[in-house]
Structure 1
Amino acid sequence: MTQTLHIIGGGMAGSEAAWQAANMGVDVVLHEMRPKVETFAHQTGLLGEMVCSNSFRSDDDEQNAVGLLHWEMRAAGGLIMSMGDTHRLPAGGALAVDREAFAQGVTDKIMAHPRISVEYGEISALPSDGHWIIATGPLTSGALAQAIQAETGSESLAFFDAIAPIIYAESIDMSKAWMQSRYDKGETEEERTAYLNCPMDRDQYEAFIDALLAADKTEFKEGETAGYFDGCLPIEVMAERGRETLRHGPMKPVGLTNPHQPDVKAHAVVQLRRDNALGTLFNIVGFQTKMKYGAQTEVLRMIPGLEEARFARLGGIHRNTFLNSPTLLDDQMRLKSRPHIRFAGQITGVEGYVESAAMGLLAGRMAAADILGQHLPDVPQDSAMGALIHHITGGADAKTFQPMNVNFGLFRPVDGLKGGRRGRKDRYKAYTDRAKAAWTAWLGASALDAA
């Protein structure tokens, strides 16, 4: 008789794991504590809810590692990428989605699957037997986090993560702002105008930096230290690193021309990206913040075009936890001390929606194969999936382990290709060609073994 797979957490990783396992013929119970138990960042009880950006980042599967990961997930019939494609918004070369429609789509698909049932409520202890995947993400409940810590016998590593504000489109002054993707990137007019831009001259930028540095910010509790993930730094932290840091980061003015003043080059530009299909909401790109709410509204309204901005959601900061996976997990993502439990998603030390869902995809398939008594071939290290799982389960230095996005630095070198900027395009194409071949072969072998 087939055993049931239990998955704790209905975010990106948990939903993807449930989808993959169910499609392999395993009955799945997906446990989600929301909406009974709320978190700081979530707004709904929907599965797959996006709590930070609404972007899956670059969709370029030949020159970008995360775009390659998109390709691999699509090839594997991934739910998250399918719903991302269904609910995508114009975003130049990136894959951005209508977050509410996306989460509703994920929820509807999971609820409609005949092999998946959803149970709502908090699980606060580690299960003693059965087949389990813990995919509770960076906002794991306090009780379950304590249980994990007690089991592993080590302090959970932690860092602080920030989310960006969302603004009502109708409150933006379009006599100062304009729509344009950087370098007019995109194949259609809609894609070439996917971003809303707010320009600053030098004086406005300097005043903004002064206000940003002086603003009231969230204070940490005694004994807490702020170790941020570099891909999601609060704007205040970037500004503290140097007054020009933001102007060379999320506020860089290159590749943009202000139609209101085409002969005037902006000193800095704040970009906003559409957050829903209706175009009624925009999030400020790269503007994760730890400013207190009152300070946020004052400082952000200094941005030209946002003087009368109304906020659908203000930014904030919260504590994220993750495992020291190179020490605690085996190459099948199982907890070494309790191999009936797998971990997936951000709690394993990957960073980003796509990376989290990818680890859910692998964990779901691995758990299903165990239940079905099937042999699942090793994930090829030359694929994006393989490079990422290899990093978190042994490739990284456990002493300095920190959350990691997928990137070509995790890939084994391609023989015969030299480094350097001139060869980078060819090198990245070689990585992606090799990865696609390896991943396609793995999917084929996996299907034969599961048949």
Structure 2
Amino acid sequence: MTNKLHIIGGGMAGSEAAWQAAQAGVPVVIHEMRPEVGTFAHQTGNFAEMVCSNSFRSDDHEQNAVGLLHWEMGAANGLLMETARKHRLPAGGALAVDRDAFSADVTARLRAHPLISVEDGEITKLPTDGNWIIATGPLTSGALAESIRAATHAESLAFFDAIAPIVYTESIDMDIAWRQSRYDKGETEEEQKAYLNCPMTKPQYEAFIDALLAADKTEFHEGETAGYFDGCLPIEVMAERGRDTLRYGPMKPIGLTNAHKPEEKAYAVVQLRRDNALGTLYNIVGFQTKMKYGAQTEVLRMIPGLENASFARLGGIHRNTFINSPTLLDDHMRLKSQMNIRFAGQITGVEGYVESAAMGLLAGRMAAAEIKGKDLPPPPFTTAMGALVNHITGGAEAKTFQPMNVNFGLFPPIDAKGGRKGRKVRYKAYTDRAKSDFQEWLAAQN
């Protein structure tokens, strides 16, 4: 077996896996089908392209599990976290980035690495020889997905995922919208005003819900029975669950005061988050949608402040595929039936940019260690990475396995009691324990 590592897919997981392995001294070949073969969601051929949100979510590494994952990836010299912070945009307590600058920078760093080469083109069959990481993501090509199904003698699971629209800033009416992060969260004034807010009265909200429910929507082909991932539900699906669902979800008005009419309490608020460093684009937060394009423009322009909105990208929906990892992968993320192949990223059933990149980081390090004749165990289950990899490789119930974000429910329990305040103490205890154990895991590799 050669000492070279092949990685299929240059998304979040593939990019991080390539960087980690190359930094460990292992030659890497990235196989990427874009732009030769495109996908519904991707716009470029760059690595680590952000196709949905431009946010890596909460950066709070003391009270939030995904923030802890940020910290662990930083401690492990992760390329994506380093690059994200370089291209950070104001977003309150979230880590949002200029998506184009971020992916261009990641692409440049990977292509410039002396141990990384890139081969363009689609790989349609699961390789039989050599060292491989499959990091093709939820939009794995049909031919490769079919090869994976045949090799594992199992049907791939799937769910539907949706993309939120992006609006040109100049088309937003700032006489109606105002700048403010919820509860003025953020350390600087810029972060405290990172979001644009569009208020709705009760009649406006009710009319919006009526239009949303009546709008023409994408219909799926016969036989497509996949469900939705709860963390990325289309707004129409949320509205169908109850007329107030959106008002208690992405359109909740709490923590916001209308700068134009401070005495008036909004019934609902639509938030927009900056999408690029220039501030010329904003995405509508939580507004993933399966409305057809014509219906989208009509319905979204009912939002006060967006009556004349011009859209850089409309929303859409696509089918995502992932394998039943608890039955197919060992704790080193290797395919049990073909141990020279690892899987990483969303195809394993983790959900989110950060979780995907983290699994790429682990797969890259584990593959590099194996190529060099060493064994690298997974991080302790008390860490964010360890808890996540444990969940997908055996901790989850295989029969009901669905995409999962990192959360403290995946961690071994910790004793810190006392109601709501106790939860804050407990989360801090989780993160303190995780950081200590993760640093020990890293130190043991030296």
Q: What TM-score, normalized to structure 1?
A: 0.98
Greater shift, 148-157 or 132-141, is seen at 148-157
Deviation at 1:222, TM superposition (A): 0.5
| Equivalent residue, structure 2, for 1:59 | 59
CA RMSD of aligned residues (A): 0.9
Structure 1 Cα separation of the partners of residues 298 and 69 of structure 2: 39
Say if 2:135 and 2:345, in contact at 8 Å, map to a contact too.
Answer: yes
Name the CA distance, whole Å, in 2 between partners of 1:375 and 1:422.
41
Q: Is the Cα contact below 8 Å between 2:272 and 2:285 reproduced in 1?
A: yes
Distance 2:378 2:39 in 1: 36
Letter in 2 for 1:131: N
Query: CA offset at residue 223 of structure 1?
Result: 1.2
1:17 aligned partner:
17
Paired with 1:32 and 1:92, the residues of 2 have a C-alpha distance of 34
* Paired residue secondary structure (2:132): strand
When structure 1 is superposed on structure 2, of 377-386 and 184-193 the one drifting more is: 377-386
Residue correspondence of structure 1 range 117-132 to structure 2 within 5 A? 117-132=117-132
Q: Is the 8 A contact 1:377 1:446 kept in 2?
A: no
In the alignment, which residue of structure 2 is the partner of 1:437? 436
Q: Describe the superposition over 1:157-214 as per-residue Cα deviations: whole angstroms up to 9, x where unpaired.
A: 0000000000000000101001100011111110000000000000000000000000
- Percent identity, please: 79
Aligned match of 1:147: 147
CA distance in 2, matches of 1:187, 1:70: 18
Given residue 297 of structure 1, which amino acid in structure 2 is its aligned partner?
T
Matches within 5 A, 1:399-410: 399-410=399-410
Q: Deviations along 1:114-171, whole A, 9 cap, x unmatched?
A: 1001111000001111000000000000100000011111111000000000000000
Residue 419 of structure 1: how far off its partner (Å): 6.2
**1:342-357 matched pairs, under 5 angstroms:** 342-357=342-357
Task: Name the aligned partner's letter for residue 177 of structure 1.
Answer: A
4+ runs deviating over 6 angstroms: none
Secondary structure at the counterpart of residue 402 of structure 1: coil
* Counterpart secondary structure, 2:159: strand
Query: Structure 1 residue 226: deviation in Å?
Result: 3.9
Matched, 1:306 2:318: no
Structure 1 unmatched runs, 5+: none
**Cα distance in 2, alignment partners of residues 352 and 410 from structure 1:** 16
Which residue is equivalent to 2:79? 79
User: How far off is 1:224 after superposition?
Assistant: 1.1
For this pair of structures, how many residues does the alignment match? 446
One-letter code of the match for 1:334?
A: R
Cα distance, 1:446 vs structure 2:
1.2
Equivalent position of 1:421 in the other structure: 420
C-alpha distance in 1 between matches for 2:423 and 2:26:
43
Q: Report the residue type matching 1:388 in the other structure.
A: L
Q: For residues 261-320 of structure 1, what are the alpha-carbon distances to aligned partners after superposition, in whole Å with 9 as ceiling and x for unaligned?
A: 110000000000000000000000000000000000000000000000000000000000
Q: Residues 217 and 226 from structure 1, CA distance in 2 versus in 1: closer, same or farther, beyond 3 angstroms?
A: farther
Question: Residue 83 of structure 2 contacts residue 102 of structure 2 at CA under 8 Å; is this kept in 1?
Answer: yes
**SS in structure 2 of the partner of residue 283 of structure 1:** strand
Aligned to 2:164: 164
Residue by residue, what CA displacement relative to the aligned partner does 1:380-433 show, whole Å, maximum 9, x if unpaired? 11100000000000000000000000000000011x323642310000000000
The letter for the 1-side match of 2:359 is M
Any residues of structure 2 matched to 1:251-290 within 5 Å, and which? Answer: 251-290=251-290
Q: Which residue of 2 aligns with 1:224?
A: 224
Tell me which amino acid in the other structure corresponds to 2:208: F
Gaps of 5+ in 2: none
